Amino acid sequence: MMHIDSRERNFIIGTTILLLIFGAAVLVSSFAFGFQVPAPVERIDPKVVATPGQSPWGDPVAERLRELAPNKYEVYILAQAWAFQPNQIRVPVGSTVTFYLTSKDVQHGFRLDGTNINMMVLPGEVSRLTATFDEPGEYNFICHEYCGVGHHTMYGQLIVEP
Ligand code: CUA
């Protein structure tokens, strides 16, 4: 049998235990806390994304929130320097909202307070995440990727009405 130095064996055992701990942490966070990985769901041409008729982000801002069924919504938010469109969204309490975001120009971010929605918003890619709102209130969202001099003005609000 191959001889393994005791220190080397201890490193192998220690590394294996660490990997098991990390693996368990990933499983617990994904299943117990419902963490979602915001993988790009679709590619889209950023040059025409805001053109009417070319994509849901080309529709009038007032029509970007869509009711699919009672308490089930989707919203198409366009990020561009330096605003979100729409930047104010109203849904009734108990709603499940799927957020579709893309950027018209540079890299932006989207973080919605009080939820686990946190994603990068890249030109050419569609990011999608879903959250359910069981508490009425005002949920602020911000751009959290530095995108230029107006970065700090990129924010908006989701209002969950009782
Ligand atoms: Cu957009 Cu920072």
Residues 27 and 91 in one domain: no
| Distance from Cα 33 to the centre of ligand 1, integer Å | 27
Q: How far apart, in whole angstroms, are the C-alpha atoms of residue 153 and residue 33?
A: 31
pLDDT of residue 30: 81
User: Around 39, how many Cα atoms within 13 Å sit in the side-chain half-sphere?
Assistant: 3
Residues 85 and 124 in one domain: yes
3-state helix, strand, coil in the chain (%, to 5): 20, 40, 35
pLDDT at 34 over 80: no
Is the distance from the beta carbon of residue 151 to the nearest atom of ligand 1 less than 6 Å? yes
pLDDT band at 82 (very low <50, low <70, confident <90, very high): very high
pLDDT of residue 10: 95
pLDDT digits (tens, 9 = 90+) for 45-57: 999 999 998 899 9
pLDDT of residue 127: 93
Ligand 1 atom with minimal separation from the 152 CA: 2
Is the distance from the beta carbon of residue 145 to the nearest atom of ligand 1 less than 6 Å? yes
Is the distance from the beta carbon of residue 146 to the nearest atom of ligand 1 less than 6 Å? yes
Q: How far apart, in whole angstroms, are the C-alpha atoms of residue 121 and residue 87?
A: 15
What's the CA dihedral at 27, 29, 30, 34 to 10 degrees?
A: 150
Whole-model pTM? 0.82
Residues 54 and 127 in one domain: yes
Residues 31 and 47 in one domain: no
Residue 154's domain comprises 40-161
Instruction: Provide the H-helix boundaries in 61-153.
Output: none
Residues 11 and 90 in one domain: no
Higher pLDDT, 19 or 34: 19
| Distance from Cα 154 to the centre of ligand 1, integer Å | 6
| Residue 133: Cβ-neighbour burial (10 angstroms; 0-12, 13-18, 19+) | buried
Residue with tokens 């009711």: 67
pLDDT at 76 over 90: yes
pLDDT digits (tens, 9 = 90+) for 85-105: 999 999 999 999 999 999 999
Task: Give the residue-averaged pLDDT of 136-158.
Answer: 96
pLDDT at 36 over 90: no
pLDDT at 35 over 80: no
Task: Give the residue-averaged pLDDT of 139-158.
Answer: 96
Q: How far apart, in whole angstroms, are the C-alpha atoms of residue 72 and residue 4?
A: 59
Residues 6+ away with beta carbon under 8 Å from 62: 86
pLDDT mean across residues, the chain: 93
Residues 125 and 154 in one domain: yes
Structural domain count of the chain: 2
CATH of the domain at 70: 2.60.40.420
Task: Give the residue-averaged pLDDT of 48-71.
Answer: 92
Token pair of 40 as six digits: 């790009």
